[in-house]
Structure 1
């Protein structure tokens, strides 16, 4: 089978990296195209993937609309040459839906972002299948299938990820040294228009550093007072760092959920709180994450967690409970893609195949 993957966001490099490798190991031919956003190209290079750039991230809805046309034109030319049997994309991947329709080839999108309403309006009428976590708060209709996991468990499930403490040495840290990771985002994604997070960034960081070293990762340029806190560690090593951190606080939703599934106390600060099922489940069912629209309330919870020396151990126990409930998402994706369209038919008829069971059924591979 020939499969074209379009990467729209750095998180999708992580989401699909194990899937692509496993499909290629099984003899399938995969081609990667990508949007140049943040560290997407760096990550693809770091993991040794070959790819073609079809566009870049734009800051406004008007420029995004213009770029959409350019991306789809480039992607269409590449796809016509590659002649894929299937096109695959991540959250809101309008491009694979449109190009797949033009080529009369099926498209599969793995989506976990309910508030990406513009993307869904443009994508849903044309895409063949939308795979969402079982906790997704919305019924997309007959094209939707649900699986019992999160995007982050495609690359942070213990079957796929082992933390490497060498990253600590790079930053002058040792295991057990208290440090806190803070992330700020650019708010330029189409589903982030009009949203906001932490306004007093300097005040937050100064309050947190009383409890350990603060390490900042940021999509945009930081104020001069915060630039000394910005980390220079390679982006592909961020998950190792998250695993060993005492706490994560930030506007980055993906990083917040990554910290949570790694068993690190996680605090998400955004005006988007309450819109996404994965965050609600991680908070209300597993207690691994806290969400706030108010940064002062978030800081209060952060201090409460940091003042408790048993917090990290407590979160490790919570993580074990989550892993008992959830599946290895890469294993599910391999089965679903490799067996499409039969896999789609089976899941629509018998959603329990992946909706509730903790592992991929032996007869599903």
Structure 2
């Protein structure tokens, strides 16, 4: 069994790392290409996953259009040499295009309902699309739904190991994540001015330690609070944190599964099925900007221990009622290769 995986984001490393490990042990062979984005290559190296870089990508609509041809060419060249049985990705247009050229199936996972540009680029060329059952779009006969969210592929108890004690990470951490707002599905949105966030940080800094994680360089106004958490240790820091507040939807979802109170500050969240679902399950709250979110954070701080226990309890229940997504991937691959779909 020969599987070609294209990875475009650090989160995708986590989505597929356990699948790769298990399938390697079963004798599968992999060829992996990865964009040089943020800590993607760092994580692949950390988990000893061999890969080939397809470059950093480009910015803007025109740049992204040019990059499609560049990445397609690289992946086609590699795939012709490797001769895969199938392609697997998280909504990769490049894997989709090359799979169609070579006449091989492409299995795509997706949870980003609002990603119109990405959908236009990969959906027509993809054979099977797998999403959470709460995904808001419908791709027709090629669309399959699983009971769970993508983060269960690595934060399910079958895989996640909490490595750091609270003494090692710090007892009263509040973690904040800032993103670049440069992804294709972020067009039309821009960074907050963060003035309200800075005032909040100053107000609580005598009692709590604020750790800011940033995609790229943090804004100047927040730079003094930046803390370089090693990427492979992030989930342990999130597990031990008092609170997460930030712009990353993935990290907010991770907190929901780790039993950590999380406030997602992202104007897109209300259009995403997974965030709506976590909100309905009492595992996440979301706001359009920090100006709206900060008053709610102050309110939560007044009963933080009570809220923490509530979220931990809801998280355990949620996990027990949903699928192991890595095992779902394994089952899916076998069905496709052995014509069970």
Change (3 A) 1:301 1:105: same
* Residues 310 and 189 of structure 1, relative CA distance in 2, 3 Å threshold: same
After superposition, residues 224-303 of structure 1 pair within 5 angstroms as 224-284=220-280, 286-303=281-298
CA contact (8 A) 1:4 1:88 kept: yes
Q: Distance in 1 between matches of 2:216 and 2:41?
A: 17
TM-score (norm 1): 0.89
Query: Per-residue CA shift, 1:155-201, capped at 9, x if unaligned?
Result: 001111021125852x5x2xxx1111000000111001112454324
Aligned counterpart, 1:363: none
Tell me which residue corresponds to 1:191.
185
Alignment check: 8 A CA contact 2:166 2:240 kept:
no
Q: Following TM superposition, by how much is the alpha carbon of 1:202 offset from its aligned partner in structure 2, in angstroms?
A: 2.3
- Cα deviations across residues 29-68 of structure 1 (Å, max 9, x unaligned)? 1111101101000000111111000121322121111111
Superposition RMSD on alpha carbons, in Å? 1.6
Match of 2:132 in 1: 133
Where in structure 1 are there 5+ consecutive unaligned residues?
A: 346-365
Deviations 1:62-88 (A, max 9, x none): 111111110010000000000000000
1:288-327 residue pairs with structure 2 within 5 A? 288-308=283-303, 309-327=305-323
Equivalent in the alignment of 1:47: 47
CA contact (8 A) 2:180 2:191 kept: no
Question: Which of 186, 205, 208 in structure 2 is aligned with 1:209?
Answer: 205
Question: Partners in 2 of 1:247 and 1:163 — Cα distance?
Answer: 17
Tell me, yes or no, if the aligned pair for 1:197 and 1:295 is still in contact at 8 Å.
Answer: no
- SS of residue paired to 1:142: helix
Q: Distance in 2 between matches of 1:225 and 1:117?
A: 32
Match of 1:181 in 2: 175
Separation of aligned partners in 1, 2:340 and 2:308:
40
Which residue does the alignment assign to 1:162?
161
Equivalent-residue separation in structure 2 for 1:294 and 1:214 (angstroms): 19
Question: Contact 2:260/2:312 (CA < 8 Å) preserved in 1?
Answer: yes
Task: Report the alpha carbon displacement of residue 149 of structure 1 after superposing the two structures with TM.
Answer: 0.9
Structure 2, unaligned stretches of length 5 or more?
Answer: none
Say if 1:145 and 1:344, in contact at 8 Å, map to a contact too.
Answer: no
TM-score (norm 2): 0.95
Counterparts of 1:292 and 1:343, CA distance in 2: 44
Residues 334 and 340 in structure 2, CA contact (< 8 A), matched pair in contact too: no
Displacement of 1:94: 0.4
Shift of 1:304: 1.7
Contact 1:197–1:269 (Cα < 8 Å) also in 2: no
Q: Is the 8 A contact 1:183 1:251 kept in 2?
A: yes
Instruction: Tell me the distance in 1 between the aligned counterparts of 2:145 and 2:191.
Output: 30
- 1:130 partner SS: strand
- 1:134 and 1:148 in contact (8 A); partners too: yes
Mapped to 1, the partners of 2:33 and 2:144 lie a distance apart of: 25
Is the CA contact (8 Å cut-off) linking 1:137 and 1:276 kept in structure 2?
Answer: yes
Which of residues 214, 217, 231 in structure 2 aligns to 1:218?
214
1:211: how far off?
4.8
